[in-house]
Structure 1
Amino acid sequence: MLEAAEGAFGENGFHTTSIGDITRRASVALGTFYVYFDSKDEIFRALVAHMGEMTRSWIADRVKTATDRLDAEYLGLLAYIEFARAHPNLYRIIEESQFVAPDAYRLHYDSFAARYERNLSDATARGEISDGDQSTRAWALIGMSVFLGLRYGIWDQERSAEEVARAAADLIAHGLNQ
């Protein structure tokens, strides 16, 4: 049912989508919806959480072969752009949640940030990256991913995901210095 909700909300938005739209896409009776969810708001919030978990799982699966934190940053950016291309409804749903379900929106990003901070701290402890404010770093890296995913995953897919991820990974590894 969440897959059907992703299609309906992603194409039509929260306010235009009805529970009937979701159940028709899912090929289930209207009553079946209420076995799992009490309202359109509840399935939307569940969808936001589900999409966050899908994204984190997709990325985690693709960075597990990383040789170090900087390699993980490249692989993570590559994975995120590929995920955005494979799930074009992601942005509409997550961005709309900012207004429809602000707590779900905040939790979506807080969950990413908490995991990111932990991974950065672990990398610092292993000597792979310098010590620093892991919270600020995590949020900055999330921002980079979100906007690169939007630009090169949704708006314009002309450049390869690898090329974009390499350019961003170079910025992460070397900053703006030469």
Structure 2
Amino acid sequence: MTEPPRTARGARTRASLLEAAEHVFAELGYADTSVVRITERAGVAQGTFYLYFDSKLDLFDELVDDLNRRVRHAMSEASAAAPDRLSAERAGFRAFFAFTAEHPALYRIIRAAEFVSPRALHRHYDRIVEGYAEGLAEAQRAGEVRPDLDPDVAAWALMGIGELVGMRWVLWERGTESSAEGDAGGGVPDHVLDQVSLLVDGAIGRRTPSVTRSEENGA
């Protein structure tokens, strides 16, 4: 990977190439995307591309990392002011759905990474889970979530909920009449976010120890 640009102008050009790549990769897929297509969309000369990236794959890897940074920032910023962990979960999901609505390319690019650059794919999910699990563990120590929770497993499971719900109610609903109905963030209907929150509450919310069947029968 090439070194980061040293000037503000260079940073803007590099950002323009990343933005162009986000759209072109999403529209055409990795195999049919060319450096020429990306530079044309970014409005820069083809030779300029190689001042910032070594290859199409280098740009793709950096795009995955860039999308990862942005979505993690959006989620952490949204949940930072929440008064408790369950409120933070709701705010984080809301931010994720809003980011997905604004950047639908996230789904296609991350899925392409499974075949194009598995290391970038693993890095994407590992970085999300690392911060997610740390937040859950901190809330666990504070007594805000159930003590028997495995933060790492919970982080992967909750991330899966967010991805599939976003796919169903953001990506699949784009451009339909139902997407214009009341939503809680980027096209996700209010009732969907309510149901996600209910599931999360049930999964991680602090609960009193469950009564066993033998205890119910007075054994």
CA distance in 2: counterparts of 1:26 and 1:33, whole angstroms: 10
Q: Which moved more, 1:114-123 or 1:151-160?
A: 151-160
Decide which structure has greater helix share.
1
**Equivalent runs, 1:1-178 vs 2, <5 Å:** 1-131=17-147, 132-156=149-173, 158=178, 160=183, 161=188, 162-175=190-203
Q: 1:163 deviation in Å?
A: 2.6
Identity, in percent, stands at 39
CA RMSD of aligned residues (A): 1.1
CA distance in 2: counterparts of 1:137 and 1:62, whole angstroms: 20
CA distance in 2: counterparts of 1:66 and 1:15, whole angstroms: 42
Higher relative contact order (CA 8 A, sep 6+): 1
Task: Extract structure 1 runs of 4+ deviating beyond 6 A.
Answer: none
CA distance in 2: counterparts of 1:81 and 1:152, whole angstroms: 9
Could you tell me which amino acid in structure 1 is paired with residue 200 of structure 2?
A: I
CA distance in 1: counterparts of 2:138 and 2:109, whole angstroms: 32
Unaligned runs of 5+ in 2: 1-16, 204-219
Q: 1:126 deviation in Å?
A: 1.2
Q: TM-score, normalised by structure 1?
A: 0.94
CA distance in 2: counterparts of 1:72 and 1:153, whole angstroms: 21
CA distance in 2: counterparts of 1:24 and 1:148, whole angstroms: 34
Higher Cα Rg, which structure: 2
CA distance in 2: counterparts of 1:32 and 1:58, whole angstroms: 30
Q: TM-score, normalised by structure 2?
A: 0.77
CA distance in 2: counterparts of 1:146 and 1:78, whole angstroms: 12
Count of aligned residue pairs for this structure pair:
175
Q: 1:59 deviation in Å?
A: 1.1
